[in-house]
Structure 1
Amino acid sequence: MIEEIQKRPFVRPLFLWITGILCYAFLPTSLLLYVLGVLSALIFLFLGFSWGRGHAELQYDSRWIWGAIVSVLIVCLAVEVCWYSDRRIALVNEPASSLDLLATKAQYSLVNTFDRLRLSDEEKSILATLTLGYKKAMSRETKRRFSLAGVSHILAVSGFHVAVICGFLSFFCSFMPRWGIGRWIRYIILVGSLWGFVFIIGLAPSAVRAALMLSLYLTGRALRRVTDGYNTLAAAAFCMLAYNPYYLFDVGFQLSYLAVFFILFLVPRFKEWIVVRNPLLAMPWEWITVSIAAQIGTALLCFYYFGQFSTVFLFTNLPVTLLAMFLIPFAFLWLGYPVDFYGYGWIQKIVEGLVHGMVRVVDVFSALPYATITGRFSFFEMLGGYGFLVLCLIYMKIREPKVLLAALTLLLIISVKILIELFLIAGN
């Protein structure tokens, strides 16, 4: 496991940066300053004693000390960035950047355009949420139905939406040469359009994460370098938390990164366990594996924050995802298409039909009995559940029986705790 982390240079700085944010958020200021002061003093003492020794062997043998020094510096820098963000918000009464305000204005300028569509107010709110990330017009009942159907993630503009936009743009740029200057023009168009889309939808944390990951991936492709999904994910998280440390406590940020991590880890293993060679079934099977992996990664967090989990997500994700995959690009094509041009009416009918179809699927499945499981996990139950999942992932990687025993022991402890609580509730 240590070797796997060493292969990905952004993983360790990310963990240290998160440690600094958590220390600033939960430790008393006096204790935090005391600990950081002691660690800084130890660093200076070490540098003073080691100065001038000049033996390469000694320096190599002490490399773990240098690693500890760098770790302390990263944690201190994270604490300083958190302090600066607090001061900025307190003094200016706005986020660390005015980009959020500009993005909101750009978003509002497009929302009213949907009034030209022959849709109900509910359907317009769904379309505005799906394409522009504008959620203020959506009613609680609509959100509840999407949640019961297990497709509420479609309403949160995230990696799926960014990937659809990127795929749509890649299709239109497919005529451009993939070598020489053409490769870089294609790269600039794709990356610029991605960030333009993220800006329009209000710089949502999940969308920023996806755009960062895709930008890093496209940069690697343009430079003809091999990319690593885990390292790209860690780099995107590090950049976002460096910009705004409080993204760490955003529910969308947590759900987004957990879903992507479990997708990266579990989907290849699902494909190894069940090999589908039929090309007509391969893509639906891939969507199913992605959906299962994402649900495994986010189920505990959903129980902790929302107190419910959908049981019909396997049946709803495929049709709703397919409809959204066509609806998002057609909606943006309709927004940018001149009203007087030929074909405008056809594009509008396609958009309206796709919205009607999506709402129909959600209504049918959300009305089914037992479409959702209700129950709320405590923080420690949620934490223990993720500890169990992490141990299972480690066991799948190294096949060590001790790790499996630890995972089962942790699961037993959590199960006993939940059963005791249920008996106490039943007794009252």
Structure 2
Amino acid sequence: MTILVVGLSHRSAPVAMLERAAATGDALNKLLHEVHESTHVAEALIVSTCNRVEVYAVVDKFHGGVSDISELLARHSGLPLDDLARHLYVHYEDRAVQHAFSVACGLESMVVGESQILGQMREAFKLAQTEGTVGRDLHELIQQSLRVGKRAHSETGVDQAGASLVSVGLNVAEGHLGELTGRRALVVGAGSMSGLAVATLARAGVGEIVVANRTYARAERLAAAAEVPARAIELTDLTAALAEADLVVSCTGAAGLVITAEQVPATGERRFFLDLALPHDVDPAVRTLPGVALAGLDDLRTAEEAAQAVGPRAVEAVRRIVAAEVAAFLNAARAAAVAPTVVALRSKAAEVVEAELTRLTGRLPALDERDRAEIAQTVRRVVDKLLHAPTVRVKELAAAPGGDTYAVALRELFDLDPKAPEAVARPDIEGPAS
């Protein structure tokens, strides 16, 4: 069984395709179970956000797993498999681990270093746990991914990329509106990007900030943290707020449009809309209104340009962390993989010892208990000493690439039952009824 990732993101697919592939609610649950129940998949977890849909799976066959998952993604999205396949990426074994860690660190995000992905991965893991589709292998992978992501954010400045992207957007806004000092700003959404927007708008000197969000309490908390006059409103009051705003920044996680052209009054005054969401929050038709300009993520910069804005040092530092953590994870996994074979070998040796001691008792019934115990202890000590060096060494060798071949060699040399290591590795397997 090995780990496989099949997915598409803003880097590999157009926005329209991502919108069709995205899964939420009942559709996400259904897709998760269909993947888990497919022929070659033992464990499954799906990360579905506004700019990526990725299936993490433990599979018994690479090609079979890729085929199963690709067909299910095509069926879910309603796209022809041939069309979808051109935009899918596939990572397997070591590359799958590296990809998971990179995603958690924000290196694969449109906004390099953004921290929202950690929460999204955590939610995907919780859902898979609740639905019973995740097992030991994916549990370990995702838990380690979350830990590595937290480490990258705490030890580097990679999360400054988000602030840089907002700053670029506001520079574009200044080109249309002129000086932002004293302007009225409306922020739609209350997530981490909205928080960055509020802080950056305050530094730019806007006169007032209005925060609108579906959950009023979150909008209220964000407004209270602003360093300029700010207030929160219900999302139902959005139309009235749009009529008063000079600058609108929208970054929600909604699946459809949040701001339509019909909601924006055609006053003729200069206004600027900055859409930082994917899928888009703002109806592209607002561009047709007199005096209104609109910029989206595609108009600002690519992830690579954002990385340059953060500075090569921060991004390179995260890449070094990912490389070191991947190596440590794989070494530990290889060492753990050989452990069941070692246990199975020692179990077989113990069975041989007990069988021989039983035979000795039958042949020499006159031995007293003290002599029999001394002989038994001596035989067990000899076997333990003979097995000690090779079993310790095989664990050390297993940590290196290709180390699993040593476990195979042990099974061949000592004629171990192929099912014995598997039974040791899966303590959850039900034993015989007592």
> TM-score, structure 2 length as denominator?
0.24
Q: Which has the higher helix share?
A: 1
Query: TM-score, structure 1 length as denominator?
Result: 0.25
Which is higher, the Rg of structure 1 or of structure 2? 2
Structure richer in strand, relative to its length: 2
Structure showing greater relative contact order (alpha-carbon pairs closer than 8 Å, 6 or more residues apart): 1
